């Protein structure tokens, strides 16, 4: 375990098992279809990579970069497209892949965007769901694990761009981000 981590919340093995389980469900749901999997950079990258290797249908992948946090601990309430898709959305079955749903702002923005672009269907799969963080009323179609309202990092989730490369989800030691700073 990394020395900045207080506890492992979800182990490498549990994450991998969940990717197999969600992948099997999505294989059934998209059988005979050609979904467009949309990864939300950068946090979704490890989950996207492990999940998609467990979906056994044809699929296309593309990426978007949307920001709502910057380097802040809390969401600013602002959502901005940093990088758009290369692929046309109209008529496609969209699978949004996220690492975490917190306030719900990122997801709610993407749902509206893909509806506006006339997707045939939109489904959201997230590895983590933090229901206590919600400021907009939105729900993932599929969520791997529910997490408490703590500062979690690893497996894509960062604190100031660090810890994304951990293979597990951990709780960061408060002294690493300055104790109980409420800003």
User: What is the set of active-site residues?
Assistant: 102
Tokens of 90: 């109209």
Residues constituting the chain:
183
Q: Are 40 and 106 in contact (CB under 8 A)?
A: yes
Give me 84's structure tokens.
């758009």
Secondary structure letter of residue 86 according to DSSP: S
CB of 120 to ligand PRP, least distance (A): 24
Residues that bind Mn ion (rule: CB under 5 A) add up to a total of 2
Can residue 43 be called a binding residue for Mn ion (CB under 5 A)?
Answer: yes
> How much is the CA Rg of the chain, to the nearest whole Å?
16
Q: Which of 8, 120, 158, 159 binds ligand PRP (CB under 6 A)?
A: 158
Pick from Mn ion, Mg ion, ligand PRP, none: which does 22 bind, CB < 5 to 8 A by kind?
Answer: none
Q: CA 144, 16, 63, 29: dihedral to nearest 10 degrees? A: -60
- Site membership for ligand PRP, residue 98 (CB under 6 A): yes
Torsion of CA 19, 166, 134, 74, to 10 degrees: -160
Mark out the alpha helices in 40-104 (DSSP H runs).
45-52
Is residue 100 part of the contact set for ligand PRP (CB under 6 A)?
Answer: yes
Does residue number 43 form part of the binding site for ligand PRP (CB under 6 A)?
yes
* Token representation of residue 140: 């993932």
**Could you tell me the smallest distance in angstroms from the CB atom of residue 63 to Mn ion?**
11
With contacts defined by CB under 5 A, name the span among 2-10, 49-57, 156-164, 168-176 that binds Mg ion: 156-164
Ranges of H-type helices in the chain: 12-29, 45-52, 105-116
How many residues touch ligand PRP under the rule CB under 6 A: the total is 19
- Restricting to residues 101-120, which ones interact with ligand PRP according to CB under 6 A? 101-107
Other Cβ atoms closer than 10 A to 82: 9
Q: In this structure, what DSSP letter does residue 134 have?
A: -
Considering only 52, 57, 69, 177, the residue that binds ligand PRP (CB under 6 A) is 69
Q: How far is the CB of 121 from ligand PRP (least distance, A)?
A: 21
Binding site for ligand PRP (CB under 6 A): 40-43, 67-69, 75, 98-107, 158
| Interface ranges with Mn ion (CB under 5 A) | 40, 43
Using CB under 5 A as the criterion, which residues of the chain lie in contact with Mg ion when the complex forms? 69, 158
């Amino acid at each position: 375990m990394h020395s900045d981590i207080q506890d492992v919340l979800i182990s490498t093995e549990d994450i991998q098992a969940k990717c197999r389980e969600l992948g099997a469900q999505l294989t059934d749901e998209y059988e005979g279809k050609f979904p467009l999997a949309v990864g939300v950079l950068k946090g979704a990258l490890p989950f996207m990579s492990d999940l998609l290797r467990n979906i056994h249908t044809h699929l296309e992948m593309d990426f978007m970069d949307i920001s709502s946090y910057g380097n802040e601990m809390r969401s600013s309430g602002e959502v901005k497209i940093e990088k758009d898709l290369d692929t046309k959305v109209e008529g496609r079955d969209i699978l949004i892949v996220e690492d975490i749903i917190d306030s719900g702002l990122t997801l709610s923005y993407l749902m509206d965007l893909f509806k506006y672009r006339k997707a045939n269907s939109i489904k959201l799969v997230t590895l983590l769901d933090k229901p206590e963080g919600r400021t907009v009323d939105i729900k993932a179609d599929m969520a791997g694990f529910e997490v408490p309202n703590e500062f979690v990092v690893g497996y894509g989730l960062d604190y100031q761009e660090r810890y994304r490369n951990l293979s597990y989800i951990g709780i960061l030691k408060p002294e690493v981000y300055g104790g109980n700073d409420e800003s």
